[in-house]
Amino acid sequence: MPRWILPFFLFIALIIVLEIYAFQAFKTISKSKLVRFSFLAISIAVYVYFFITVFSYKRSDGQTPQFQMAMGLLLTFSIPKLIIIFLLFGEDLYRVTLKLFSTISTSETTPLASRRKFISQLAIAIAALPFASFIYGIIQGKYNYKIIKYRLSFDDLPEAFDGFTITQISDIHSGSFTNKEKIQYGVDLINDQKSDLLLFTGDIVNNKADEMDDWISVFDQLKAKEGKFSILGNHDYGDYMEWKNPEEKVNNFEEVKKIHHKIGFDLLLDEHRYLEKEGQKIALLGVENWGKGFNQSGDLKKASKGIQQEDFKILMSHDPSHWEYKVKKDDFNYQLTLSGHTHGLQMGIEIPGWFKWSPSKYVYKQWAGMYQEFGRYLNVNRGFGYHAFPGRVGIWPEITVIELKKS
């Protein structure tokens, strides 16, 4: 028996349970057959679209915007129904418990209490919040670019670099883009920061180099006074799709690397560059992808060859798990590491300075924002683009601006 059979039928069973409870909620609050069956028809249409997309999907196509939209619609209509299930199933447990106690105490058969309209109204009202959030996230949230600024002080920063500014972007995922006007707005916003240095920390495509063809003319407009530098991310290796042969995958990888040069970036492949000002210098290092459970091509020692331990160092490494497992305790002392990769799962809740949560935190210890341990810093950029889910809910696309200060 194929391995997908059991998960498929479990998924179908979950859909049936979701729809039964959701339909019961609508049935309780509305007597209109039009409302009930319109709701049911929309749900069926979403599932049909999803299954048609999935079963016609070819891994050789990579993850297309159509596939992402099918996934997005499924989540948009399914997650709110989980809230409805939670409340209505809780009420069912209460109703059954009352019936059991009544039967035991009176020795009489009593009818099961009817479902309360208020509970159904409450369930639908609460479920409407994530539903509206997902709709917003798909239509507008993925373009809701946020400028996040940090000022970091270091004892060992050369005097000439006091006040030096860095803009970091990450996870472009050009294969997901569909709206050139919105992406142009994001690029203009990056340029508006007028930083000294622009750094891109990987995942320029989802899989294929040609995903970037329509966007080169947009991203080659990016500017920085002291240069633009970049690294690769896990998606840039083409590991998440099927290729006709190994040679095709290798050729695609070479084309992906060429994209960086086409848009004016110096791609660092386990390499470093010195940035000089007024006779002083800092080291900028870039490693290939190294991630826990992912491609581990990155070679930090190779990138550091020729650098002195006392040099001030900025490291670009796509996956923050590299910092957690290899970098933060390294005696060579990498003062500042810049990563991306997690996207903050593109959904969560953030109240700046007060609260930050995403399911991503259960996978990555460092999943979004600035972290400090052992006197060393890591910034995990939330990403410029989006992938898998065609939107962002609560975790907005990010442009990071870091000012270095001499303390």
Q: What is the mean pLDDT of residues 209-238?
A: 97
The tens digit of pLDDT for each residue in 283-335 reads 999 999 999 999 999 999 999 999 999 999 999 999 999 999 999 999 999 99
Mean pLDDT (the chain, rounded): 93
pTM metric for this prediction: 0.91
The tens digit of pLDDT for each residue in 353-404 reads 889 999 999 999 999 999 999 999 999 999 999 999 999 999 999 999 999 9
pLDDT-wise least confident of 4-8, 179-183, 372-376 = 4-8
pLDDT of the residue at 353? 84
pLDDT of the residue at 170? 98
pLDDT of the residue at 240? 93
Sorted by where each starts, the structural domains of the chain and their CATH numbers stand as 5-139 (no CATH), 141-406 (3.60.21.10)
pLDDT of the residue at 30? 80
pLDDT of the residue at 7? 81
All residues at 6 or more sequence positions from 276 whose CB lies less than 8 Å from its CB, including other chains? none
Question: CA 54, CA 340: separation in Å to the nearest integer?
Answer: 28
pLDDT of the residue at 335? 98
Is 80 exceeded by the pLDDT of residue 148? Answer: yes
Query: Are the C-beta atoms of 171 and 340 separated by less than 8 Å?
Result: yes
pLDDT-wise least confident of 86-95, 144-153, 343-352 = 86-95
Nearest to 140 by CA among 393, 400, 382: 393
Confidence of residue 271 (pLDDT cuts 50, 70, 90): very high
Confidence of residue 113 (pLDDT cuts 50, 70, 90): low
Is 70 exceeded by the pLDDT of residue 174? Answer: yes
Query: Are the C-beta atoms of 175 and 204 separated by less than 8 Å?
Result: no
Report how far Cα 209 is from the mean position of its chain's Cα atoms.
20
Confidence of residue 108 (pLDDT cuts 50, 70, 90): low
Structure tokens at 316: 């670009």
Q: What is the mean pLDDT of residues 192-214?
A: 97
In the chain, the percentage of residues whose pLDDT exceeds 90 is: 76
HSE toward the beta carbon, residue 314, CA cutoff 13 A: 32
pLDDT of the residue at 111? 64
Q: Kindly report the CA angle at 235 between 268 and 57, in degrees rounded to 5?
A: 155
